[in-house]
Amino acid sequence: MREPHPIELSGTFVTRGDDRWRDDRWYGRYRLWFPQVSPWPDPHWTFVRVRPGWRSLVEETLSVVATEVPRQKTWPVRLLNQKVHGRGWGFDLGSPDADYLCLEQLSDICYIDMRNLHKLIDLLAPAMEDAHFFVYSAGDGLDRWVDEVHIRDGRSIVARWTVEGEAWADFPALCAELAGNRAGDEAFGRFVTCLSDQ
């Protein structure tokens, strides 16, 4: 099995006026899962804690992005606070004053250019504590991919596995193959187990 290939981040957000718009390798009708494997395992949500004192930067970044990409109606990123949102959203991860970035697909499907999501994660990375999570596409076509995201020391690293055609139909075998190739990686093993159980 091939290793994931690194993703080069786009210099700017991709919008409808851009000649890169609707590139089928990046734009599609997705059902996205965000399995978080570290530090809080969950099959659908990713919670990444915001570093203390960085909430205002996150709010400003999200506001600027909403202006720059006005037609991106479904940003699967929310800024949540334990005290304000914890009970309603059903999470209890830390102290009442703790802020989190939550990645979750709130709608059934998501029309999004994934380069924009990668860029948003990169812009927010300085405000995030270290994390390791995956974005899994369960879209309508045969083309499928898994993006692996590492946040380390305020920087993001994204890599992608792409599997095309009928190979994806035999997903348990693919998971076993991937797990064998990265047997020493606990986080990856938990991710494969999570998807194998779906």
The predicted model scores a pTM of 0.86
Q: What is the pLDDT of residue 196?
A: 66
Question: Is 90 exceeded by the pLDDT of residue 71?
Answer: no
Q: How many CB atoms are closer than 10 A to CB 129?
A: 15
Average pLDDT, the chain: 83
Pairing of strands 110-113, 32-33: unpaired
Q: What is the pLDDT of residue 118?
A: 93
Distance CA 111, CA 158 (A): 20
Q: What is the pLDDT of residue 165?
A: 57
Distance CA 119, CA 73 (A): 16
What crossing angle do the helices spanning 55-68 and 114-124 adopt, rounded to 10°? 150
pLDDT tens per residue, range 32-55: 888 888 888 887 789 999 999 999
In one-letter notation, the amino acid at residue 81 is N
**pLDDT level of residue 82 (50, 70, 90 thresholds):** very high
Q: Copy the structure tokens of residue 61.
A: 């970044």
Question: Is 70 exceeded by the pLDDT of residue 139?
Answer: no
| 133-143 mean pLDDT | 72
Distance CA 120, CA 75 (A): 10
pLDDT tens per residue, range 91-102: 999 999 999 999
More confident residue, 32 or 57: 57
More confident residue, 2 or 14: 14
pLDDT tens per residue, range 140-188: 655 578 889 999 999 999 998 776 655 555 556 666 776 677 778 888 8
Contact 194, 154 (CB under 8 A): no
**pLDDT level of residue 21 (50, 70, 90 thresholds):** confident
Which helix (H) or strand (E) covers residue 181, if one does?
helix 171-181
| 14-28 mean pLDDT | 79
Task: Give the 3-state DSSP-derived string for 126-184, with helices as H, strands as E and coil as C.
Answer: HHECCEEEEEEECCCCCCEEEEEEEEECCEEEEEEEEECHHHHHCHHHHHHHHHHHCCC
Distance CA 68, CA 109 (A): 22
* Dihedral sign (CA 13, 15, 19, 24): positive
